[in-house]
């Protein structure tokens, strides 16, 4: 029986960078010998990538392996900017990709919830490709790589620990999730660190999480937000510098993004007459975090928090697409908020 043909086009969309890296690692492992895999893997940047450049790489014959891996980062930028009259060129290329090519397009997007419905935020900008993919399941695959919902993170932590040969008590997994939210990059670092701390035969306990995990980092973010609320530029910049010494900008961006999202939720609860206990329950956070959120949210109007959150989204997009360096963008935001 003939072997089923493999798809030649893969569209990975979502905001879970850990999942994307795992899938890409699997693709590379499938190329065989690591040294040959490196020779047959090319990384392209969709920002500024021309059709001719993509076509040339996609049709290049692999060297001493069965397949060649072509990874297009920031592919959404390329697909969004493609004029309608040129879309057929891309679809013809996808239709005629050889079995020797594995073209992987990385599309940054996220699922948003509105009125109980879940939708991809930027789908309209690349929907013309998705429609083609839906009709060509034999040639192409869409792989959704969305961050887990925060309520699913304790289970994620337990699975990750098992993958790394360790174990967590369920209450320890829940505690870690309450600190890191659905930031799988940070969660993975913390899980690995905690497993190394307890040793091969140990089980991670809540006390271990309290001792070693992002508790201190969370405190620094609260300190940063306090300084922003007080319009204390010097203190805010100092707290930001402390944070950047402990985390890279991508990891830090996710933490700040989550914190202001929680502040918005807390502000909405307060505006409706809610209490600390309601924040604790609805946001699924520990009581001491709920108390801090209650206090901090009162320093900002809901309108101001929404404006800050919108700017954070723009910074995050800039970091991922190679715009203004993340640290510079955050320092400018701090200066603006404390003016």
- Are residue 33 and residue 135 in the same domain, yes or no? yes
Q: What is the CATH number of the domain that holds 221?
A: 1.20.272.10
Residue in 104, 138, 131, 115 with CA at minimum distance from that of residue 31? 104
Q: Are residues 59 and 187 both part of a single domain? A: no
CATH of the domain at 114: 3.40.50.300
Largest CA distance in the chain: 71
What pLDDT is attached to residue 273? 93
Q: Report if residue 47 sits inside a domain.
A: yes
Residue 321, Cα to own-chain centre: how many angstroms? 13
Tell whether 127 and 18 lie within a shared domain: yes
Do 174 and 241 lie in one domain? The reply is: no
DSSP H stretches of helix in the chain: 17-29, 34-39, 51-58, 75-80, 87-95, 123-135, 153-163, 170-180, 184-198, 206-212, 215-229, 233-246, 249-271, 276-283, 287-297, 302-320, 326-337
Pair 121, 110: CB distance under 8 Å:
yes
The CATH number assigned to the domain holding 166 equals 1.10.8.60
Q: Do residue 123 and residue 158 come from a single domain?
A: no
pLDDT at 226: 80
Q: What is the pLDDT at residue 157?
A: 96
From 180, 212, 244, the end of a domain falls on 212
Give the pLDDT score at 21: 93
Asked if residue 333 and residue 261 are part of one domain, the reply reads yes
- Find tokens 């419905």 and name the residue: 117
Using DSSP, state whether 181 is helix, strand or coil. coil
CA 180 to chain centre: 13
In a domain, 101, yes or no: yes
**Do 13 and 141 share a domain, yes or no?**
yes
Q: What is the pLDDT of residue 289?
A: 80
Q: Are residues 220 and 194 in the same domain?
A: no
pLDDT reported for residue 212: 80
* Distance separating alpha carbons of residues 71 and 301, to the nearest angstrom: 43
Same domain for 203 and 221, yes or no, is no
Is residue 307, in this structure, part of any structural domain at all? yes
- Per DSSP, 204 falls in state B
Residue 102 included in any domain: yes
Tokens of 267: 């502000």
Same domain, 90 and 179: no
Tokens (6 digits) for 335: 């200066």
Q: Assess whether 203 and 230 both reside in one domain.
A: no
C-alpha distance from residue 296 to each of 7, 25, 122, 233, 265 (Å): 51, 41, 31, 17, 12
Mean pLDDT by 10 residues, the chain (339 residues): 76 93 93 90 94 96 93 95 95 95 95 80 94 93 92 94 94 86 87 91 88 63 80 86 77 79 92 92 81 89 91 82 80 87
The pLDDT value given to residue 1: 40
Task: Answer yes or no: is 2 within a domain.
Answer: no
What sign has the CA pseudo-torsion 83, 89, 92, 94? Answer: negative
Token pair of 59, please?
A: 């049709």
Phi, psi at 150, each rounded to 5°? -60, -35
pLDDT for residue 216: 53
Which of 110, 145, 180 is where one domain is finished? 145
Supply the range of the domain harboring residue 237.
216-337
Is residue 316 situated within a structural domain?
A: yes
- pLDDT at residue 128 in the model: 96
pLDDT at position 43: 96
Q: How far apart are CA 305 and CA 265, in angstroms?
A: 10
Q: What is the pLDDT of residue 2?
A: 47
pLDDT of residue 218: 57
88: region left, alpha or beta (phi > 0 left; psi from -120 to 50 alpha): alpha
Last residue of a domain, one of 166, 183, 212: 212
Using CA atoms, how far apart are residues 127 and 254, in angstroms rounded to an integer? 27
Question: Do both 270 and 172 map to the same domain?
Answer: no
- Kindly state whether residue 4 falls inside one of the protein's structural domains: no
pLDDT at 57: 96
Contact 7, 133 (CB under 8 A): no
pTM (2 d.p.): 0.69
What secondary structure does DSSP assign to 115-180, as a single string? TTEEEETTHHHHHHHHHHHHH-TTTEEEEEEPPPPGGGHHHHHHHHHHHTT--B-HHHHHHHHHHH
| Within a domain: 287 | yes
Give the total number of structural domains in the chain: 3
């Amino acid at each position: 029986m003939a072997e089923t043909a493999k798809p030649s086009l893969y569209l990975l969309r979502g905001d879970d960078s850990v999942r994307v890296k795992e899938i890409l690692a699997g693709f590379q492992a499938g190329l065989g010998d690591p040294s040959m895999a490196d020779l047959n893997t090319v990384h392209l940047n969709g920002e500024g990538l021309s059709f001719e450049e993509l076509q040339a790489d996609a049709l290049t014959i692999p060297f001493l392996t069965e397949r060649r891996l072509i990874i297009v980062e920031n592919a959404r930028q390329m697909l969004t900017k493609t004029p309608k009259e040129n879309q057929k060129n891309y679809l013809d290329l996808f239709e005629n990709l050889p079995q020797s090519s594995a073209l992987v397009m990385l599309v940054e997007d996220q699922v948003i919830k509105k009125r109980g419905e879940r939708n991809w935020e930027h789908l309209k900008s690349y929907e013309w490709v998705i429609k083609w993919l839906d009709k060509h399941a034999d040639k192409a695959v869409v792989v959704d790589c969305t961050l887990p919902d925060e309520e699913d993170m304790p289970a994620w932590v337990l699975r990750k620990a098992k993958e790394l040969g360790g174990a967590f008590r369920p209450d320890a997994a829940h505690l870690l999730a309450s600190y890191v939210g659905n930031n799988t990059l940070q969660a993975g670092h913390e899980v690995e660190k905690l497993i190394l701390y307890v040793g091969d035969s140990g089980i991670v306990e809540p006390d271990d999480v309290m001792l070693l995990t992002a508790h201190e980092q969370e405190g620094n973010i609260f300190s940063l937000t306090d300084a922003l609320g007080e319009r204390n530029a010097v203190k805010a910049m100092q707290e930001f510098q402390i944070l950047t010494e402990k985390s890279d900008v991508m990891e830090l961006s996710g933490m700040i993004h989550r914190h202001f999202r929680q502040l918005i939720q807390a502000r909405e609860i307060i505006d409706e007459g809610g209490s600390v206990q309601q924040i604790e329950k609805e946001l699924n956070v520990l009581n001491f975090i709920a108390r801090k959120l209650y206090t901090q949210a009162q320093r900002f109007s809901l309108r101001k928090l929404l404006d800050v959150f919108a700017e954070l989204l723009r910074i995050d997009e800039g970091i991922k697409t190679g715009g203004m360096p993340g640290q510079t963008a955050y320092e400018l935001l701090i200066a603006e908020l404390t003016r």
